[in-house]
Amino acid sequence: MSGTVNLLAKYMSEHRLDCSECIDSPLFFNRRGEHLSRFGVRYLLKKYTADARKTKPGLSKNISPHTMRHSKAMHLLQAGNPTTVIQSILGHADIRSTDIYARADMKMKRHALQKAAEMAPSVRLPSWRDNKGLMEWLSSL
């Protein structure tokens, strides 16, 4: 996504990470300059969501890295991407793991049913009552 690329390019430039000798440097790092761990990501997310709740008190209390991962999977699914592509992006070895994230929401289900209804044949199918052979067979029972 071009917006993300632009933000990363600016970030890398500001932190002098856009040079060839920085190829092995962590892209995201903690205050000691070491790679940012999953615990560090959780800490930062918790810190900034607490700040955000000051202006948006209704903001969910359960925002985690997993919440963000699930949200991204849903955005990818809603954009029409197949679950195999989402599986690859999330790095899942088994498609069943992706299915946990990529549950279709009600809007998607409604759209799928509407699309199927539009494709239904417009020809009026004959009534089974008009079939004399069938009616005779049913009467003989």
Report whether pLDDT(95) > 90.
no
Q: Cβ–Cβ contacts within 10 Å for residue 43, how many?
A: 13
| Distances in whole angstroms, Cα of residue 126 to Cα of each of 2, 112, 130 | 55, 27, 7
- For position 102, what pLDDT does the model report? 66
AA letter at 91: G
Angstrom distance (rounded) from CA 108 to CA 117: 14
- For position 48, what pLDDT does the model report? 92
Model confidence pLDDT, tens digit, residues 29-81: 999 989 999 999 999 999 999 999 899 888 877 888 988 888 888 888 888 88
- For position 117, what pLDDT does the model report? 79
Q: Is 37 within 8 Å of 30 (Cβ atoms)?
A: yes
Mean pLDDT of 78-106: 83
Angstrom distance (rounded) from CA 141 to CA 127: 20
Range with the poorest average pLDDT among 17-21, 32-36, 95-99: 95-99
DSSP code, position 35 = B
- For position 125, what pLDDT does the model report? 66
Mean pLDDT of 74-89: 88
3-state secondary structure of 21: helix
Angstrom distance (rounded) from CA 50 to CA 30: 20
- For position 88, what pLDDT does the model report? 92
